[in-house]
């Protein structure tokens, strides 16, 4: 097995590797998914979604996912309803669904939402794992296995009254991603139709339209690293590699932390 896509680092007190993805050839963005025929391991790619309506679309990386999923012949308009339904059924914090209509793009979906949280507000901090139907994986690469749709902290919310409150939520969002994927990977022990998500490819969420005034990109990168590192060190997760989409060098600041 190969878990490295470039020079790799290792998270402290774990065997989990990290790598930093440059821009795809001819673009200014790191690739969201593996290309057709590109080798790799079963991956979930993080989409910094809409923290209010839970749709795939709009601007930023959410628009990038729309483009990639459309080209995989997915009906992306179904995602908002799927996400909203799961969220509303997750009264205990989690819910899943494994029955879908023929036109839906998914074979399995699950949600992990914060309950009674003093860190997050609204739907912020929620993680959805959307497992694609086998014939609908982007670039026809079966290792483009899932979208990890998150609802990032929105720095414009008045509840994040200080930089510290906002950055605490950014850090906890990263920890929630690890918790959700680790929980999903335990599901595969009993649901043999599913595969472990071994690779997480992540954008820098809360760094564009959700960025709080006065907070820097370096602050976001460091908060994400802290959340990933602390949660990965707590328990076995089944995760082997975190890939940081680093076309603009925004994640360079965390490299000395490894």
- Return the percentage of the chain with pLDDT > 90, whole number: 94
**Is residue 4 predicted with pLDDT exceeding 80?**
no
**Is residue 7 predicted with pLDDT exceeding 90?**
no
**Is residue 43 predicted with pLDDT exceeding 60?**
yes
Q: State the average pLDDT over residues 57-80.
A: 97
Residues linked to residue 110 through DSSP beta bridges, in sequence order:
96, 129
Domain annotation for the chain: domains and CATH numbers: 8-257 (3.40.220.10)
**Is residue 107 predicted with pLDDT exceeding 90?**
yes
Helix, strand and coil in the chain, % to nearest 5: 30, 20, 50
Q: Report pLDDT for 3.
A: 41
Q: Report pLDDT for 2.
A: 39
Distances, alpha carbon 45 to alpha carbons 88, 133, 161, in Å: 24, 15, 30
How confident is residue 6, by pLDDT bands cut at 50, 70 and 90? low
**Is residue 244 predicted with pLDDT exceeding 70?**
yes
Q: Please give the Cα distance from 109 to 178 (Å, whole number).
A: 16
Is the Cβ–Cβ distance between 202 and 65 less than 8 Å? no
Q: Report pLDDT for 208.
A: 94
Residues linked to residue 18 through DSSP beta bridges, in sequence order:
9, 242
Q: Report pLDDT for 192.
A: 86
Q: State the average pLDDT over residues 244-251.
A: 97
Is the Cβ–Cβ distance between 12 and 258 less than 8 Å? yes
Is the Cβ–Cβ distance between 14 and 4 less than 8 Å? no
**Is residue 234 predicted with pLDDT exceeding 80?**
yes
Which of 78, 168, 83, 85 is closest to 120 using CA atoms? 168
Higher pLDDT, 191 or 227: 227
Tell me the pLDDT tens digit for each residue of 139-181: 999 999 999 999 999 999 999 999 999 999 999 999 999 999 9
Q: Please give the Cα distance from 35 to 5 (Å, whole number).
A: 12
Which structure tokens are listed for 237? 């997760």
How confident is residue 245, by pLDDT bands cut at 50, 70 and 90? very high
Tell me the pLDDT tens digit for each residue of 115-148: 999 999 999 999 999 999 999 999 999 999 999 9
Q: DSSP assignment of 121-154, as one string? A: -TTTT-EEEEEEPGGG-GGG-TTEEEEEEE----
Tell me the pLDDT tens digit for each residue of 182-205: 999 999 988 889 999 999 999 999
């Amino acid at each position: 097995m190969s878990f490295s896509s470039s020079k790799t680092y290792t998270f402290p007190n774990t065997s989990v590797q990290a790598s930093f993805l440059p821009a795809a050839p001819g673009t200014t963005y790191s690739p969201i998914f593996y290309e057709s025929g590109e080798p790799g391991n079963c991956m979930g790619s993080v989409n910094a979604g809409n923290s209010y309506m839970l749709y795939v679309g709009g601007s930023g990386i959410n628009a990038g996912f729309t483009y990639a999923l459309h080209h995989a012949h997915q009906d992306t308009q179904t995602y908002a309803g799927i996400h909203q339904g799961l969220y509303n059924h997750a009264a205990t914090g989690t819910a899943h669904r494994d029955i879908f209509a023929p036109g839906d793009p998914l074979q399995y979906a699950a949600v992990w939402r914060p309950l009674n949280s003093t860190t997050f507000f609204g739907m912020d901090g929620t993680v959805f794992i959307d497992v694609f139907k086998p014939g609908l994986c982007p670039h026809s690469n079966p290792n483009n296995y899932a979208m990890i749709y998150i609802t990032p902290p929105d720095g414009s919310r008045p509840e994040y009254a200080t930089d510290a409150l906002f950055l605490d939520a950014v850090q906890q969002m990263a920890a929630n991603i690890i918790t959700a994927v680790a929980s999903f990977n335990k599901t595969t022990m009993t649901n043999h139709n599913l595969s472990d998500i071994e690779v997480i490819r992540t954008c820098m969420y809360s760094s564009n339209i959700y960025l709080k005034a006065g907070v820097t990109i370096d602050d976001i990168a460091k908060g994400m690293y802290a959340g990933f590192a602390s949660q990965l060190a707590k328990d076995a997760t089944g995760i082997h590699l975190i890939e940081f989409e680093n076309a603009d060098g925004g994640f360079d600041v965390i490299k000395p932390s490894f």
